[in-house]
Amino acid sequence: MAFLPISKQDMQSRGWAQCDFVYVIGDAYVDHPSFAPAIISRVLEDAGYKVGIISQPDWKNPASVTVLGEPRLGFLVCGGNMDSMVNHYAVSKKRRANDAYTPGGVMGKRPDYATTVYCNLIRRTYRTLPIIIGGIEASLRRLAHYDYWQNKLKRSILLDSQADLLVYGMGERAILEVADALNSGMDACDITYIDGTVFKTKAPDDAVPSVTLPGFSEMQADKTLYAKSFSIQYRSTDPILSKRLLEPYPDGRFVVQNPPQKPLTQKEMDHIYDLPYMRTYHPSYEALGGVPAISEVKFSLVSTRGCFGACSFCALTFHQGRIIQSRSHESLLREAKQLTDDPDFKGYIHDVGGPTANFRQPACAKQLRSGACPNRQCLFPTPCPNMKADHSDYLALLRKLRALPKVKKVFIRSGIRFDYLLADADDEFFRELVQYHISGQLKVAPEHVAPAVLDCMGKPRHKVYSAFCEKYAHLNREYGLPQFIVPYLMSSHPGSTLKEAVILAEYLRDTGHRPQQVQDFYPTPSTLSTVMYYTGLDPRTMKPVYVPTNPHEKAMQRALIQFRDPKNYDLVFEALHKAGREDLIGYDKKCLIRPRKQQPLEQRRQPRRK
């Protein structure tokens, strides 16, 4: 086992005169299956292709992408495990101080819009070589999309990057088909038939069943058309039911999205995760302090892919799809035994999960046969009658992992979908979750309590979360465990006026929760919530949605969640006045804040905006 080449010297030590593919990535080189470039490069290596890695090249210097020479088949480009703009900027658009995917956590080692910048850098030297882009940044920008940081509708990243082909979603099968096509001598422009890819053309094939989306120029002029387009895209994430999507552009070109790849079989998943990963960062980073992101995943197990939870603010449905794909117990146990042999292993497996930890099989029997319903969500607004809530397989897996030598505890830190948990008539998993798999506190994501906001979020009614909390408290009392719940809450999501924000504050008052951190809604590419933010419409229904966009109003909504913090007093005071809830200013136990000192309530003036 060895890392893939990062220099000509590494190539020479392997006896390579030339790479088949040079993979340019925006992160440090971490050869671990939680990092997408590691999986793609190892899958290609397993198929017999020679892959070299250029990590975080100097985007101001064209020579930085030539250090491995000209590849035989082409360049692969990935902006990183995160969208580069989310990696760089908080929701306030202020620059973040650290980058967990860079050696030493140093910020500034990759450009904004990294995928596009790297591709244009490559094109300056290699005019005709194929460039294939993938990863989360490319996947979620594969068609026209709203860009929060520039506050405008942007065209497909395939056009701005000058790449030849885009692989979206989890791209192992697609990248192998692309590699084989290039290796057979095909021109990149002729690779138009592979599921899970996006290409550009001036002459779409009329013989292939397709749906033509609104044109880019028309969507720029009318946000309603963009909402309608995204609604079609969102319903086209199923590999069985989806057709080709054609997006016209003013220059006569079309960006064409092929249907998604079919779900991987369990055997395919096992093989991918059994490949010979080094499971850590490249040793050249040791002197720089290592790569911080490895600490979150080094002793964790990826059990599944896909998510049928379909929260509006999450891009998982758009990226991985709704059909759950899972690894076998045997594969996970093999990896767990590898973890226990690591000198740094202290006896704790930090996580066994995926996008949603307690999803281990498709939501219903028909999904693999007929696809996920395009007009019905599995859990929202209530669980579908066809959904099978069953934790028995996950529970059996956790029991096997707990029984391994050297394992003291197996934690579950991926999200638990509490409505799915309650839908299971057998509470055995819930009981063992409480007994064995929590480190003092369980983090769950109700996100809000107001019905109007929960509807926009695609989350269950608050009574479902309340029932979960009651059951959780009951089990902890039964087992004599002092464990509690930490709820994730979001402010300023579409649908939330100050009225809804006050309702959330009242809930926190009544439960005694004191959130240390608050997440403002972040409009990232290709989520339902982002489309609501940009268009003011819910693309599922095309009905208007209230959207808080004013920074001062968003600050008030955030302050209401932390109304106990003295530094938020003025904002909370103003918010309660604007919401017509002066009844919550006073000395009663139901009040959120007290009146201003030495000033009668009726004489108090509303504070100025800062």
pLDDT in tens, 419-443: 999 999 999 999 999 999 998 899 9
**What per-residue confidence (pLDDT) applies to 609?**
47
The DSSP code for 539 is: T
pLDDT attached to residue 598: 59
Domain-embedded: residue 436: no
- What's the pLDDT tens digit per position in 472-501? 999 999 999 999 999 999 999 999 999 999
pLDDT at 439: 86
146 close to 523: Cβ distance less than 8 angstroms: yes
For 112, list phi and psi in degrees, rounded to 5.
-60, 150
Q: How confident is the model at residue 142 (pLDDT cuts 50, 70, 90)?
A: very high
pLDDT at 368: 85
Please give the tally of structural domains in the chain.
Answer: 1
CATH number of the domain that residue 17 is part of: 3.40.50.280
The span from the CA of 261 to the CA of 267, in Å, is 16
Q: With respect to residue 389, please indicate whether it lies within any of the assigned structural domains.
A: no
Distances (CA, A) of 280 to 38, 326, 335: 10, 23, 14
CA atoms within 13 A on the CB side of 489: 29
Query: Could you give the count of Cα atoms lying within 13 Å of 403 in the half-sphere of its Cβ?
Result: 7
- 354 has a pLDDT exceeding 90: yes
* Helix axes 392-402 and 329-340, enclosed angle (nearest 10): 30
Does residue 603 carry a pLDDT above 60?
no
Does residue 164 have a pLDDT over 90?
yes
What confidence tier does 195 reach under pLDDT thresholds 50, 70, 90? very high
Residue 170 falls within a domain, yes or no? Answer: yes
154 part of a folded domain: yes
83-92, 250-259, 393-402, 588-597: which has the minimum mean pLDDT? 588-597
- Check if the beta carbon of residue 97 is closer than 8 Å to that of residue 103: no
**DSSP single-letter state for residue 566:** G
362 preceded by cis ω (within 30°)? no
Q: Is 138 a member of any domain?
A: yes
On the question of pLDDT at 148 being above 50, the answer is yes
Question: Residue 401's CB: how many other CB atoms inside 10 A?
Answer: 21
Whether 3 is in a domain gets the answer: no
Mean pLDDT within 221-249 = 96
Residue partners of 415: CB distance under 8 A and separation at least 6: 353, 355, 356, 357, 443, 444, 445
The C-alpha angle 529, 533, 539, rounded to 5 degrees, equals 55
pLDDT band at 95 (very low <50, low <70, confident <90, very high): very high
Residue 36 CA to residue 136 CA, distance in Å, equals: 9
pTM: 0.94
Summarize pLDDT for 273-300 with one digit per residue, the tens: 999 999 999 999 999 999 999 998 999 9
CB 8 within 8 A of CB 67: yes
Looking only at the bridges linking them, the beta strands covering 131-134 and 300-302 are unpaired
Q: What is the domain extent for residue 132? A: 8-195
Percent of the chain with pLDDT over 70: 98
C-alpha 116/C-alpha 532 separation (Å) is 26
Average pLDDT rounded to a whole number, residues 353-364? 94
- Is the confidence at residue 75, as pLDDT, over 70? yes
Q: Is the pLDDT of residue 608 over 80?
A: no
Are 52 and 11 a contacting pair, CB within 8 Å? yes
Averaged confidence pLDDT in the chain:
95
Residue 163 clears pLDDT 50, i.e. is over it: yes
| Structure confidence by residue, pLDDT tens digits, 498-539 | 999 999 999 999 999 999 888 999 999 999 999 999 999 999
| Residue 44 is assigned to a structural domain of this protein | yes
Using pLDDT thresholds of 50, 70 and 90, give the confidence band for residue 610.
very low
pLDDT at residue number 517: 80
Going by pLDDT thresholds of 50, 70 and 90, the confidence category of residue 310 is confident
Q: Which two tokens stand for residue 398?
A: 């956790």
Could you give the C-alpha distances from 397 to 212, 285, 332, 339, in angstroms and in order? 45, 35, 8, 16
Whether 326 maps to a domain, the answer reads: no
Kindly indicate the confidence band of residue 597, based on its pLDDT and cuts at 50, 70 and 90: confident
Per-residue pLDDT, averaged over 75-90, amounts to 97
Percent of the chain with pLDDT over 90: 94
Q: What's the rounded mean pLDDT across residues 378-387? A: 94
